[in-house]
Amino acid sequence: MRTIGLLGGMSWESSIEYERLINEGVRAALGGVASADLIIRSYNFAEVEALQAAGDWDAAGALLASDASRLETSGADVVVLCTNTMHVVAPAIEAAINVPFLHLADTTAAAIVDQGLSTVALLGTRYTMEQDFYRGRLVSRGLEVLVPDEPDLTLVHDVIYDELVQGVIKPASKQAYLEVIERLVERGAQGVIAGCTEIELLVAEDDVAVPYFPTTRLHAEAAVTFALTPSELEYHTD
């Protein structure tokens, strides 16, 4: 089994989900008392959120790149970043390490393409929905990506930061999200991406009538596949 390095803690609720899903995946594959070989760097999200709010992506990228290098030095065979939004600094991370970096948008795109969809809705933080670092990788796979119009876009973002990353789950917010999804489906979305790890704590697959792509689960499954693939074999996400 190869060692997975996790850059997490943004927020810790999502980090716990990653660790749980990866360990469950390894146990399901190997049986018995088997669990994943993990190295975890968890953050004080308040410090990272301040960098996000200030738009200081260079400092955020330097922080995560340095810690990714430390994970590699500690024995990680692959680095997994446990957050959608911070993939904005993925190039800095990839440049700092010599082991593979499993990009979350690539694992998501592969799952969407496998289902034969061409148009998907993307829910996430404002950064993820508005910037190109995530959407662009989906578009490069031939996908059309829809995001909410205002005021829905702000609602989706605010629920994440004001509630979900603080462990607050409100039925009213779930209903609001489902109404946002309905409007996106009316615009032509054939499926919906939970493009923020905490969204999966609020909206489940059974809650929506179209294919649902829980990025945390998909990313964790890709990490398990990598960890259990013999190192002499090349691993692909597509």
Count of the separate structural domains present in the chain: 2
Looking at the fold, whether 41 and 116 belong to one and the same domain comes out as: no
83 assigned to active site: yes
> Domain check: are 81 and 110 in the same one?
no
Domain carrying residue 191 = 105-214
| Residue 220 and residue 197 in contact, taking contact as beta carbons nearer than 8 Å | no
Residue 236 counted as domain residue? no
Q: What's the CATH code of the domain at 120?
A: 3.40.50.1860
Domain for residue 206, yes or no? yes
149: in domain: yes
82 is catalytic: no
**Dihedral angle over CA of 127, 128, 131, 132, nearest 10:** 160
Based on the domain organization, do 112 and 202 belong to the same domain? yes
Of 85, 107, 128, 196, which one is the catalytic site residue?
196
114 shares its domain with 168 = yes
Q: What confidence tens digit (pLDDT) does each residue in 198-215 have?
A: 898 899 999 999 999 998
Q: Which residues contact 42 (CB under 8 A, 6 or more apart)?
A: 8, 9, 12, 15
Q: Are residues 77 and 153 in the same domain?
A: no
Give a yes or no: residue 67 inside a domain: yes
Same domain? 126 vs 167: yes
- The pair of structure tokens assigned to 27 is 């146990």
In a domain, 238, yes or no: no
Residue 77: inside a domain = yes
User: Which is it for the CA torsion 165, 167, 169, 170, positive or negative?
Assistant: negative
Q: Is residue 88 part of a domain?
A: yes
Q: Which residues of the chain have pLDDT under 70?
A: 231-238
Q: C-alpha distances in angstroms, 196 versus 26, 82, 129, 190, 213?
A: 24, 10, 10, 19, 11
User: Are 27 and 34 spatial neighbours (Cβ–Cβ below 8 Å)?
Assistant: yes
Q: CA nearest 54: which of 140, 127, 108, 144?
A: 127
What is the predicted pLDDT for the residue at 170? 95
Specify if 235 maps to a domain. no
Q: Mark whether 133 and 50 lie in a shared domain.
A: no
